[in-house]
Structure 1
Amino acid sequence: MRSLPLAATALAAAAVLGPSLPAHASAPAIQITKVYYDSPGTDRRSNASLNGEYVTIYNSTARPIDMEGWVVKDKTGYTYEFSGVILGAKKKITVRSGQGRDGTSAVYWGRRAYVWNNDKDVAYVRNADGKLIDSCSYDSTRSDYKNC
Structure 2
Amino acid sequence: MAHRRPRTRLSASLVMLVGLFVTVTPSATGATAAAAGVTEYGTVAFVADGDTVDVAIDGVPADTGREGTRVRLLGIQAMELYEYHHDVSLDTGECHAVEATARLRSLLTTDDGLGRRVRLTARESGSSNLGRRARFVAVEGPDGRWRDVGATLLAEGQVLPSFQKTEYTFNRAYRKAAQTAAARGLGLWDNDFCGRGPAADLSVRVRWDAPGDDSKNVNGEYVRVTNHGTRTVDLSGWWVRDSATRPAATKAAARRGYIFPGGARVGPGKSVYVHVGHRPSGARPGHYYYGRSAPIFENVTGAPSHLGDGAYLFDPRGNLREWQQYPCVVRAASACST
Look up the match of 1:134.
322
Q: Distance between the aligned counterparts of 1:64 and 1:103, measured in 2?
A: 19
Look up the match of 2:20.
none
Look up the match of 2:65.
none
Q: Distance between the aligned counterparts of 1:100 and 1:41, measured in 2?
A: 19
Which structure 1 segments of 5+ residues have no match? 1-23
Greater C-alpha radius of gyration? 1
Q: Distance between the aligned counterparts of 1:123 and 1:42, measured in 2?
A: 20
Look up the match of 1:87.
266
Which one-letter code corresponds to 1:89 in the other structure?
P
Which one-letter code corresponds to 1:100 in the other structure?
R
> After superposition, where does 1:34-113 map in structure 2 within 5 Å?
34-43=205-214, 45-46=215-216, 49-77=217-245, 79-83=257-261, 84-100=263-279, 103-113=284-294
Tell me how many residue pairs correspond in the alignment: 116
Q: Distance between the aligned counterparts of 1:30 and 1:104, measured in 2?
A: 19
List 4+ stretches of structure 1 deviating above 6 A.
none
- The percent identity for this pair of structures is 31
Greater fraction of residues in helix: 2
Which structure 2 segments of 5+ residues have no match? 6-199, 247-256, 301-307
Which one-letter code corresponds to 1:30 in the other structure?
L
Which one-letter code corresponds to 1:91 in the other structure?
K
TM-score relative to the length of structure 2 = 0.32
Which one-letter code corresponds to 1:42 in the other structure?
D
Aligned residue for 2:244, secondary structure, equals coil
Greater relative contact order structure (CA < 8 Å, 6+ sep): 1
TM-score relative to the length of structure 1 = 0.68
1:56-93 deviations in Å (ceiling 9; x for gaps): 11111111111111000112245111003011122101
